[in-house]
Amino acid sequence: MLRIGLTGGIGSGKTTVADAFANHGVPVIDADIIAHELVEPGLPALESIVKAFGDNILDKKGHLKRNKLRELILVDEGKRRKLESILHPAIHNEIETRINQIHAAYCILVIPLLIETRLTDMVDKVLVVDVSKNTQIERVKNRGKLSEDEIQSIIGIQCSREERLKAANEIVTNEGTLEDLAIQIAHLHQKFQQFAST
């Protein structure tokens, strides 16, 4: 099965693009969703995080305080690397497990840090969702969960737009409307189906 790695900066539109492929019946595996599932109470990844970051990273019910963790890793690269060393192998394994359960011409793997984590070998093609930094900031701000400073910090630790575009085999431009996006996805869907059958 052909593996398409879908990536892009924060708020670029990865989930929106993945949903558009899912509307064509394409199976989607999302590394962010897996990362959330892996840190449920009682699971080994959460135990490793507590060992590394201390008990106060959990709320009273034993759930991970995601905002607190994000604050810590945004200002401390060592902590960020520690978290990645816990989560990335587990995410990688889970992606492979799920791929093995799918039968389709191709699948979409949403991997936000595909390029940063040098996981491009895991996929056959890299599909980048591209937007300007201003659009990224506006759209994430509109979601209302992060301040502009936090968004800027996250953009700062992600790879640059240029690096991402350099690694791309295919590019979706998400500056326009959702209809514009749907047209691009329909075209890519045909292209990936054709490519998978050759």
Of the pair 105, 150, the CB lying nearest ligand ATP is at 150
According to CB under 6 A, which one of 31, 95, 111, 181 is a site residue for ligand ATP?
181
Residue 25 Cβ vs ligand ATP, minimum distance, rounded to whole Å? 19
> What's the one-letter identity of residue 125?
K
Contact between 46 and 39 (Cβ < 8 Å): yes
Rounded distance, CA 143 to CA 125, Å?
30
Say how many residues touch ligand ATP, by CB under 6 A: 15
Nearest Cα neighbor of 127 from 80, 68, 187, 60 is: 187
Task: Quote the DSSP letter at residue 140.
Answer: H
Of the pair 49, 184, the CB lying nearest ligand ATP is at 184
> What's the one-letter identity of residue 81?
R
Is residue 59 exposed (0-12), middle (13-18) or buried (19+ Cβ within 10 Å)? exposed
According to CB under 6 A, which one of 4, 12, 83, 115 is a site residue for ligand ATP?
12
Of the pair 90, 113, the CB lying nearest ligand ATP is at 113
Q: Is 16 in the site for ligand ATP (CB under 6 A)?
A: yes
What are the residues binding ligand ATP (CB under 6 A)? 8, 10-16, 112, 139, 143, 174, 177-178, 181
